[in-house]
A and B are shown apart, each in its own frame.
Chain A
Amino acid sequence: MTEPHAPTCAEIAELMPAYALEALAADERGHVAQHVRVCGPCRALLQEYADLAEGLLAAAPACAAPSHLEAALLRRLRAEPTRPPSPWWQRLAAWLPAPARPAAVLAAVLAVALVISNLGWARAASEWRAQQAALAASLQAQHLSMEMLAAGGQRVVLQGSAAPEASGEFYFTPDHRQAVLITADMPPLPAGMVYQLWLVTADGQRDNGGVFSVDAAGHGVLIVDAPHDLAAYARVGVTREPAGGSPAPTNPATINGPIS
């Protein structure tokens, strides 16, 4: 019986070029990986080969992609199922304190469902209690959101203006006053400040849509009860305002977008 031979640094170095090019047999690959875990100089040498291999990826002879590829990509995107990749209810869950999550998310989902499916707020509280148990068991949030939108609701994306990375999603139905705003990547608020939603008519009048704050990741949520049906408004925007909100905006819009 002989002990399996442990490869030397020189032997490992001979395998490295093929390792970096992903051309080694599995057993040899294992030898290299195992060795560099414990050998600093070999790890540094392997990194050089890995960098070289990375460079070779961009070293293919350059050719221009056919110009129709962009249109083709857009066509395939349209065929994709609608995908809010990180659905708003998950972001909402992350935004809420952990103990509040299940009930609060359920409440928010239900609230949006009520808004979009045209149920009145007065019925919300009693229905919430009645439906909570049943919903908790069967709530498939993704299906529900599809159903909400299918029920005639709209979702518009608000873009960052003063803060380019910030964004928001505004869920509403034009012939109702209720709506939901979900934000992401909003800049953190200084103490004593809040975000305030403005509902802007076509002739420039700004109505207060309510105030909200955001977590460290800029996530925030606001249930809106507008003074008029949303059809009365052409745009919405969010500004930073002193706590309690302002009668009229005093700062540039952080995010905004058209809703008509």
Chain B
Amino acid sequence: MLEDGHLPPPSSSSTVPGDEPDDGALLAQIERGQQAALVSLHRRYVNLVYSLAARVVGEGMAAEEVTQDVFLKLWRQPRAFDPARGRFSSWLLAVTRHAAIDRLRQEGRRPPEAPAAREDQPDPAETRLGRDDRREIEQSQQLRLLLEALPAEQREAIQWAYYGGLSQQEIADQLRLPLGTVKTRLRLGMQKLRALWRRDA
């Protein structure tokens, strides 16, 4: 006879507080059709995904839908992420950026203006983030401050390109500037950002 405790009661869970499964384990569970694993990943990354979506398409309904689409894609194709190519959170954000830019293009609208810098930034991530992710995100928030410190025209060139999904030519058309001017602004801005980033690192 099996002693009590060998087969825990139905309410028991494989997730112990403070010992949450890592992203890889959750992805494996998603692959097996376990919705609870997707919900766990959603709790872990929804603020991060939503923040980027909101930066690209503006806060509100469109950003919510982009966020939903990203997590549904994860549900439908959990194998789309290849762990050999980097961290899961980076991949998730790259997927988010493309989904959000696609959305902008479908709607045929211009990227929104950069939101005004806020005094107090809420923490974009939940406490459930792994230590590595948390450190990366803290560094990224530092990067945001460096970006904001760039000369406005250089910062805007970077933002139009990356958060707006525009090519240098499209930025030039949009801003009615010579292509060479846009290229210079974007290059100088990124070179400066890289130098500041290296100095801080």
Query: Which residues of A approach B to under 8 Å, CB–CB?
Result: 14, 17-18, 20-25, 48-49, 52-66, 69-70, 72-74, 76-77, 80, 82-86, 157, 159-161, 164-165, 167, 169, 184-185, 198, 200, 204-206, 235, 237, 239, 248-249, 251-253, 256-258
Asked if A63 meets B8 with Cβ closer than 8 Å, knowing A21-B161, A73-B68, A184-B32, the reply is: no
Could you give, for residues 14-29 of chain B, a 1 whenever the CB lies within 8 Å of some chain A CB and a 0 otherwise?
A: 1100000100010011
Contact A69 B190 (CB under 8 A): no
Q: Are B12 and A14 in contact (CB under 8 A)?
A: no
Q: Is A85 within 8 A of B33, CB to CB?
A: yes
- CB-defined contacts of A25 to chain B, threshold 8 Å: 167-169
Tell me whether B161 and A18 are in contact (CB under 8 A): yes
Q: Which residue of B lies closest to A161 (CB)?
A: B8
Are A61 and B197 in contact, CB atoms less than 8 angstroms apart? no
Smallest CB–CB gap between A184 and chain B, Å?
A: 6
- Give every chain B residue within 8 A of A82 (Cβ-Cβ): 33
Closest 3 CB pairs of A and B: A17-B190, A62-B124, A58-B140
How many angstroms from the CA of A86 to the CA of B71 in the assembled complex? Answer: 18
Contacts of A167 in B (CB 8 A): 29, 32, 34
Inter-chain contact B162/A53, CB cutoff 8 Å: yes
B123 touching A52 by the CB < 8 A rule?
A: no
Do residues B97 and A57 form an inter-chain contact, with CB atoms below 8 A?
yes
A181 to chain B, nearest CB (A): 14
Kindly identify which residue among A63, A84, A185 contacts B54, using a CB–CB cutoff of 8 Å: A63
With both beta carbons as reference points, the residue of chain B lying nearest to A68 in the complex is identified as: B64
Pair count A-B, CB < 8 A: 219
Q: Which residues of A contact B147 (CB under 8 A)?
A: 56, 59
Chain A residues whose C-beta falls within 8 Å of the C-beta of B162 in the assembled complex: 21-23, 53, 56
Which residues of chain A have C-beta atoms less than 8 A from B161's C-beta? 18, 21-23
Q: How far is the CA of A235 from the CA of B147 in the complex (A)?
A: 57
Given contacts A25-B167, A57-B90, A57-B97, A77 and B190 within 8 Å (CB-CB) = no
Q: Is B35 an interface residue (CB 8 A)?
A: yes
Q: Mask for B42-54, Cβ within 8 A of A = 1, else 0?
A: 1100111111101
Q: Known: A70-B46, A74-B35. Contact between A65 and B67, CB under 8 A? A: yes
For A21, give its contact among B28, B52, B186 (CB under 8 Å): B186
A contact residues around B29 at 8 Å (CB): 167
Which residue in chain A gives the minimum CB-CB distance to B71? A73
- Establish whether residues A77 and B93, one from each chain, have CB atoms under 8 Å apart when the complex forms: no
Q: How far is the CB of A202 from chain B (nearest CB, A)?
A: 11
Asked if B6 and A252 sit within 8 Å, CB to CB, the answer is yes
Q: Is B118 on the interface with A (CB-CB < 8 A)?
A: yes
The contact sample of 26 A-B pairs, CB cut-off 8 A, is A18-B161, A21-B186, A23-B171, A48-B194, A52-B190, A55-B140, A58-B137, A59-B144, A61-B118, A62-B121, A63-B47, A63-B59, A63-B122, A69-B64, A72-B68, A73-B39, A76-B68, A77-B72, A157-B34, A164-B21, A165-B28, A184-B32, A239-B2, A249-B6, A252-B5, A257-B10
